[in-house]
Amino acid sequence: MTPRRGATTLQGVLVIDKPAGLSSHDVVNAVRAASGEGRVGHAGTLDPMATGVLVVLLGPYTRLEPYISSAEKSYEATITFGSATDTDDAQGRVVAVAPVPDVIGDASRASHIVEGLVGTHAQVPPAYSAIKRGGRVSHRAARAGTPLELEPRHVRVLSARLTTLDQAAHSWTIDVTVSKGTYIRALARDLGETLGTKAHLSALRRTASGRITIAQATQLSDVVEAAKSHALATLFVDPFEALGLPVVHADSQQTATGAPLVSGKTYAEGTLVAVEADGRLAGVYHASGDLLVANAVLLGGPR
C-alpha cells in the first residue's frame, strides 16, 4: 500500500522552546515542513509574544493532544501597571492609562497580593482570543470592531510568587502555575483593576506544562536541523512522562486492536491511564467498571 501524502514513520512528543514572534501554528508548520510529516499538532497554544515550553506532537501522537493540553501550566510573567491595551498584552494598542498606586513599589505588600491570587477565579477571557461564540471567533470580531460578549469561566491559580519588582518600570515579575484555560493576560488585566489602576502583560515565558519543564526543551532551529538529518526521533521525550498518567502494563497482542483490557487493579470510574506494551506507549484508556476502555490507540508505539 502506498503511504498517504505527508505520512512518515515518525511518532513522538517534542518539547520546543518557542521563540518570540512566532505563533504556535508557525512552529507546527516549521516542524511539518522540515520533517515531511503532515500529522503535526501542538498541545497548549502560546501567543506570538510568549516564549517557552510548546509541546509538539507528531504522527499518531497527535491523538494525545487532549490529555497533554489538560495539564496545569507554569509561567514567568511580567505585569506592567499604569496602562491597559486592547489585547491585554504588550502587542496591543494602549486604550487606557491610570495613576500607579504606591503599593506597586512596595515589595512586601506586592508579595502578599501576588500570593493572594491563589484560588479559583471567575475570569472573562480577553477579547483577542480564539474563543468561539455563535460561530464567530472572538479575536476576529474584536478586530472588526464588534467584540463578542464573553462569559466568565472558572479558572484556578495553583501557586503564585513575586520574583522581581521593578519600581522604575512599574512592573512585577511573578512565577505562577494555573489550570487549563487560564489567560495570564486576563490575570494581569484583572490585577490592575483590583489595585485601582490599569495593567497589561508585558512578557511571558512558559516554564512547564504538566511534568514537562523548560529544561527539556529544544530550540526550534535545532529541531529543524535534526529533522533535515533524519535524527528528529532522538529529540523525542518520554511520552509517559509527558502524559503524567498512571501506567498499566499489557501485552502487545492485547492492545493491537484497541479492545477493552482487564486492568487487574481497581481504578475510580473514568480514571485515565497510559497503557504500555513491549516498552512502548500503546494508548490512553479510561477505567469503566472492571475494564480499561481505549480512548486513543497508538498502534506500533513510538519510533
Three-state DSSP state, 230: coil
Same domain, 195 and 278: no
Same domain, 140 and 168: yes
* Crossing angle for the helix pair 24-35 and 220-228, to the nearest 10 degrees: 20
Residue 60 lies in a domain: yes
Which pLDDT belongs to residue 141?
A: 65
Same domain, 231 and 179: no
Report the CATH number that the domain containing residue 60 is assigned in CATH: 3.30.2350.10
Residue 267 lies in a domain: yes
Contact (Cβ atoms closer than 8 angstroms) between residue 205 and residue 76: yes
Same domain, 48 and 77: no
Please give the average per-residue pLDDT across 47-54, as a whole number.
95
**Taking the alpha carbons of 95, 97, 101, 107 in that order, is the dihedral positive or negative?**
positive
Which pLDDT belongs to residue 4?
A: 45
Same domain, 37 and 12: yes
Report the number of distinct structural domains present in the chain: 3
Same domain, 178 and 110: yes
Residue 252 lies in a domain: yes
Residue 191 lies in a domain: yes
Last residue of a domain, one of 179, 203, 227: 203
Which pLDDT belongs to residue 1?
A: 34
Which pLDDT belongs to residue 254?
A: 85
**Taking the alpha carbons of 215, 221, 223, 225 in that order, is the dihedral positive or negative?**
negative
Please give the span between the terminal C-alpha atoms of the chain, in angstroms, as a whole number. 20
Which pLDDT belongs to residue 253?
A: 85
Contact (Cβ atoms closer than 8 angstroms) between residue 248 and residue 274: yes
Residue 2 lies in a domain: no
Q: Grid coordinates in use for 244?
A: 503524567
Binned at pLDDT 50, 70 and 90, residue 137 comes out as: low
Same domain, 44 and 142: no
| Beta strands 218-219 and 12-18, pairing class | parallel
Binned at pLDDT 50, 70 and 90, residue 303 comes out as: very low
Q: Grid coordinates in use for 115?
A: 500570593
Same domain, 135 and 81: yes
Report the CATH number that the domain containing residue 282 is assigned in CATH: 2.30.130.10
- Residues marked active site are found at 47
**257-301 pLDDT, tens digit each:** 889 998 778 899 999 999 999 899 999 999 999 899 999 998 644
| Residue 277, domain extent | 245-303
DSSP 268: -
Same domain, 184 and 279: no
DSSP 82: S
Same domain, 250 and 137: no
Using the CB atoms, write b or e for 137-175: b if 16+ within 10 Å.
ebbebbeeeeebebeeeebbbeebebeebeeeebbbbbb
